[in-house]
Amino acid sequence: MSKPKVLVTRPLFPEARAILDETFDVEYWKRPERIDRAELLERVTDKDALVCLLTEKVDEELLSAATKLRVAATVSVGYDNIDVAACTRHKVIAANTPGVLDETTADFAWTLLMAVSRRLIEGDAWMRTGAWPGWDLDQLLGSDVFGKTLGIVGFGRIGQRVARRAQGFQMRVLYCNTKRVPLDVERELAAEFASMDEVLERSDFVTLHVPLRPATRHLISTDALGKMKRTGYLINTSRGPVVDESALATALEQKRIAGAALDVFEREPQVLPALLGRKDVVLAPHIGSATIETRTKMAVMAATNAAALFQGHPPPNALNASELDLREPS
Ligand SMILES: NC(=O)c1ccc[n+]([C@@H]2O[C@H](COP(=O)([O-])OP(=O)(O)OC[C@H]3O[C@@H](n4cnc5c(N)ncnc54)[C@H](O)[C@@H]3O)[C@@H](O)[C@H]2O)c1
């Protein structure tokens, strides 16, 4: 019997390939450059499954071209690249990779927070010029982290992991979230529920952990930035469009906040030119989950999501399971 066909837009890792190779007739996109849209649309037409990255859009156009498609699995927890409602209309299961990257992404939010507050990147650049004259009292003075207030916008899986790490720095933690979390979670994480305005106004560090949705696009606007402390820092490891980048550049230029550290950008891979030259900004190339361990787990999870259906199970991380009425076979 012939195997179902899958298109995989990166060669992934051996552990994930083993799962796919067993279940599917696999077509891997192996060229170093990203698959372009026309190529993706053409190659997906005869496929039963797609394993894609957050850089590929699964939308009405793709779903109309891929008439045999039954599952689209993204190797990411954020699924703003997938039009889940359109998938449901086309009876395609959409799946993501929640849970396996929480600790790693929380670590990276902290990496950015520490780097921007202690001016690490400026210091590193200075050292490499060979021009450092030696220790002095007022060089690269940053801001304390210990004992300050951390504001977490979006208190889900990753936001809560970020909060846990703040205990070691004896910080006060404020959070806002669509819903207040249970009291035992608040107590365990020593986190105080607040409105978004309060989080912005009272925090020394504001870190973003919301998904990108229409309601969170430009959540951090000129207005929101204006509510932050002048000594405050903004950390973004969520999605670029959550922050209005030009509003951020203006706020930094006018010294309305002290600095920003960004892992994600509005128009990746482009970075707003006004941010590029700024010393009060730390820029990272969307590497929040980029460790060998975590990226391997994500790839395995996406491969498992794609293969499950063809092994007689609903994908473990289906995003439209209830809409498509998916149930484990009894
Ligand atoms: N930089 C990276 O490499 C990287 C890695 C992992 C995740 N991410 C991003 O982080 C996001 C969060 O991941 P997660 O697994 O913690 O998701 P999650 O769904 O567990 O948590 C998101 C939280 O945000 C809350 N929320 C939604 N809209 C809000 C709003 N307007 N105001 C306040 N809270 C709001 C939700 O209630 C939820 O609790 C992902 O969607 C993804 O885009 C980025």
Query: Could you report the per-residue pLDDT of 5-61, keeping only the tens digit for each?
Result: 999 999 999 999 999 999 999 999 999 999 999 999 999 999 999 999 999 999 999
Does ligand 1 lie within 6 Å of residue 238's CB atom? Answer: yes
pLDDT in tens, 274-326: 999 999 999 999 999 999 999 999 999 999 999 999 999 999 999 999 999 98
Local structure of 133: helix, strand or coil: coil
Q: Tell me the CA–centroid distance for residue 176 and ligand 1, in Å.
A: 12
Cβ neighbours of residue 209 under 8 Å, at least 6 residues apart? 109, 152, 153, 154, 155, 156, 158, 159, 162, 237, 238
Q: How many CB atoms lie within 10 A of CB 182?
A: 9
pLDDT in tens, 99-121: 999 999 999 999 999 999 999 99
Q: Which residue intervals of the chain are DSSP H helices?
A: 14-23, 37-43, 60-65, 84-89, 102-117, 120-129, 157-166, 183-189, 196-202, 222-227, 245-253, 273-276, 292-308
- Dihedral-angle region of residue 104 (phi above 0 means left; psi in -120 to 50 means alpha; beta otherwise): alpha
Locus of tokens 């076979």 = 329
- What are the residues facing 243 on neighbouring strands? 220
Q: Candidates 84, 175, 177: which one to mutate for ligand 1, based on the most atoms within 8 Å of Cβ?
A: 177
Query: Residue 328: which pLDDT band, with cuts at 50, 70 and 90?
Result: confident
CA 260 vs CA 61, 158, 231: distances in Å:
36, 19, 11
Check whether the bond before 269 is cis (ω within 30° of 0).
yes
Q: Tell me the CA–centroid distance for residue 48 and ligand 1, in Å.
A: 29
Pairing of strands 191-193, 281-283: unpaired
Q: How high is the pLDDT of residue 52?
A: 98
Query: Residue 140: which pLDDT band, with cuts at 50, 70 and 90?
Result: very high
Does ligand 1 lie within 6 Å of residue 99's CB atom? Answer: no
pLDDT in tens, 172-220: 999 999 999 999 999 999 999 999 999 999 999 999 999 999 999 999 9
Q: Is 209 a catalytic residue?
A: no
Three-state helix/strand/coil letters over 24-73: CEEEECCCCCCCCHHHHHHHCCCCCEEEECCCCCECHHHHHHCCCCCEEE
* Nearest-angstrom CA–CA distance, 166 and 243: 23
Query: Residue 168: which pLDDT band, with cuts at 50, 70 and 90?
Result: very high
Locus of tokens 């460790």 = 291
The residue annotated as part of the active site, out of 172, 217, 278, 286, is 286
**Which of 288, 289, 221 is CA-nearest to residue 249?**
221
Please answer whether residues 228 and 203 qualify as being in contact, where contact means their C-beta atoms are separated by less than 8 angstroms. yes
Query: Residue 1: which pLDDT band, with cuts at 50, 70 and 90?
Result: confident
CA dihedral 97, 100, 103, 106 (to 10 degrees): -10
- What average pLDDT does the chain have? 97
The residue annotated as part of the active site, out of 27, 60, 198, 268, is 268
Q: Is 239 a catalytic residue?
A: yes
Q: How high is the pLDDT of residue 330?
A: 63
- Is the pTM for the entire model greater than 0.85? yes
Read off φ and ψ for residue 96, nearest 5 degrees.
-130, -170
Cβ neighbours of residue 40 under 8 Å, at least 6 residues apart? 7, 9, 56, 62
Q: What is the mean pLDDT of residues 225-237?
A: 98
Tokens of 324: 């498509």
Q: What separation, in Å, do the N-terminal and C-terminal C-alpha atoms of the chain show?
A: 25
pLDDT in tens, 56-85: 999 999 999 999 999 999 999 999 999 999
Q: How far is CA 13 from the centre of its chain?
A: 20
